[in-house]
Structure 1
Amino acid sequence: MCTRYISPEVREIEAFWRIDRRSNQRKDWENLLTVCPLALATFIRRADEVDYARELVVGQWGMIPPWSKTHVPTTARGTRMSTVNARTEGVEKSPTFKDAWARGKRCIIPATSFDEPNWETGKNVWWRFRRADGAPWGLAGLWNTWTDLDTGELWDNFAMLTMNADAHPLMARMHKPDPTLPPDQQDKRSVIPLEANDFDRWLTCTVEEARAMLKVPPVELLDAGPVVA
């Protein structure tokens, strides 16, 4: 589960991903490099159902459920929800994410790095994950658009897809372990990186093909270690 990442600057995103156009450049958006839940950040999606055309969009990191009365994700009873990550297991049944998944609203989330908590010392030590080849991450995500019924304002929003990483030699070391469960049942989570030759496929393929693309990162791809203050 990822709750903090660093975004490349817009000019870097446009150059690396060869963005055809921008859309929805919100007036309240600041190009913050460190992205936390509910912040406005950039993501890449397919443009107007046109094959292989990409657009850069500003949206909220945190999917807004269709029943939510505000852009802050809430349950039907009004309790705050965490929707920055979408579990791939059961995503097709999740009330929050199933519509985006079924309609192929997949996106790419640019990241210079992402952070995960490590509890091996008995306290939280943040680790930073970069690509070993120096390229930016293109993380698999879902997006949707929510309408504020009071103002008519449209809110593009997105979430990172995650999957179980209990068997991964590095990702399984992240997050606080549950001492009551064995190592292979901790449900440690990992984000899902996409490779450059899969970017267009991820944005345009069928749901069945997208499911087959969901994989945890190979350990040799990861350059990771404690965050240096």
Structure 2
Amino acid sequence: MHRTILEVEHAAVQLQRPVHPGLVRELPFGQFDAPSEPSSHLHSHWISIQYHPAQCTAECADSRLEETAICNRYVSPAEREIEDFWHIGRANQPRWYDTPREVFPRAPGPFVRRSREDAGYSRELVVGQWGLIPWFAKTPKLTYSTNNARSEELEGKATLKDPWKRGQRCIIPAWTFDEPNWESGKNVWWRFRRADGQPWGLAGLWATWADKSTGEVHESYTMLTINADTHPLMRRMHKPDPKLSPDQQDKRSVIPLEPQDWDQWLAGTMADAKALLKLAPVEVFDAGPADAS
């Protein structure tokens, strides 16, 4: 069964430190592993953690955007690569890194949106937290995960409906993203690139949150997903639930945007944007085990 966001959060509580969902290993339902040390990839000791749903707070249960961890690890292009590929000027604050960088939930990451200062139309590069900070949050340091969001819930979810109706759509640049594959009976991380060698432009929403006590403004974003039960490639990702039929697994996929659709996504009407909420053709993907790439 899929590891839920609540389980990942529970791991962080038990270990008393943040745990990247991409580093949580899936085991039979009710338990999972997390690295015993907070290293990024080179970990040799794992701690088995029992998950007790009753111990999770109501706020965590009510506010999470994804019940299953979808994309929790990707590599962002360097700032100059984003500026060149998305035709953005260099007046970006704060600055992003000069080399490609791995991004995890709650870490800073870059995204592209319609410029807020341009009365016409242009794009701007913004750096914010990967994990949408909702308007009702009491602090920017969330105790629940909001890095993924179901596109089917854009109009009804409290966290999503205001950014969606306001047109706060963004594009998340990525050279690669990783997903777990369980076809061998154990988790094998797969890496996804574009077959044409270009970076991904993944559909997202952005938000700003202001601290009422200090006035500090925090930028944040979330990555949208869509049901992939019928997709030849993406339906193979994540651990299947043996109790459900193949067409009822609710496997998820990110939503890649093609270059010709960027302006429609960033500046179009809500109907224009809805038309782009779809699975990408399998031919777009170059995917395989991460260890072999």
For normalisation by structure 2, the TM-score amounts to: 0.72
**1:51–1:204 Cα contact (<8 Å) kept:** no
Q: Does 1:64 align with 2:139?
A: no
Q: Does 1:217 align with 2:280?
A: yes
CA distance in 2, matches of 1:51, 1:111: 27
SS of 1:98's equivalent? helix
Q: More helix by proportion, 1 or 2?
A: 2
CA distance in 2, matches of 1:25, 1:81: 25
**1:30–1:40 Cα contact (<8 Å) kept:** no
Q: Does 1:54 align with 2:94?
A: no
Deviations 1:157-210 (A, max 9, x none): 000110000000100000111111100010000000111111111100011110
Q: 1:37 aligns with which of 105, 119, 122?
A: 105
Q: CA deviation at 1:150?
A: 2.8
Which residue matches 1:142?
Answer: 205
CA distance in 1, matches of 2:179, 2:147: 14
Q: CA deviation at 1:155?
A: 0.5
Q: CA deviation at 1:90?
A: 1.9
Deviations 1:28-84 (A, max 9, x none): x766710000010110000125443000001000001212122123xxxxxx22110
Which residue matches 2:239?
Answer: 176
**1:2–1:114 Cα contact (<8 Å) kept:** yes
Segments of structure 1 that go 5 or more residues without pairing to the other structure are: 74-79
**1:47–1:55 Cα contact (<8 Å) kept:** yes
Q: CA deviation at 1:224?
A: 0.1
Q: Does 1:113 align with 2:176?
A: yes
**2:73–2:177 Cα contact (<8 Å) kept:** yes
Which residue matches 2:267?
Answer: 204
**1:22–1:57 Cα contact (<8 Å) kept:** no
**2:128–2:219 Cα contact (<8 Å) kept:** yes
CA distance in 2, matches of 1:24, 1:146: 17
Q: Which of the pair has more CA radius of gyration? A: 2
**1:52–1:200 Cα contact (<8 Å) kept:** no
**Which stretch shifts more, 57-66 or 47-56?**
47-56
Q: CA deviation at 1:102?
A: 0.6
- Please provide the CA RMSD for this pair: 1.6
CA distance in 2, matches of 1:202, 1:22: 22
CA distance in 2, matches of 1:85, 1:9: 22
CA distance in 2, matches of 1:23, 1:94: 31
For normalisation by structure 1, the TM-score amounts to: 0.92
Q: CA deviation at 1:124?
A: 1.2
Count of residues in correspondence between the two structures: 221
Q: CA deviation at 1:149?
A: 2.1
Which residue matches 2:88?
Answer: 19
* Residue type of the alignment partner of 1:161: L
CA distance in 2, matches of 1:214, 1:90: 12
Segments of structure 2 that go 5 or more residues without pairing to the other structure are: 1-69
CA distance in 2, matches of 1:152, 1:226: 45
* Residue type of the alignment partner of 1:46: R
Q: CA deviation at 1:24?
A: 3.5
Deviations 1:71-116 (A, max 9, x none): 123xxxxxx2211011011211111111100100000100001111
Q: Does 1:83 align with 2:146?
A: yes
CA distance in 2, matches of 1:167, 1:134: 25
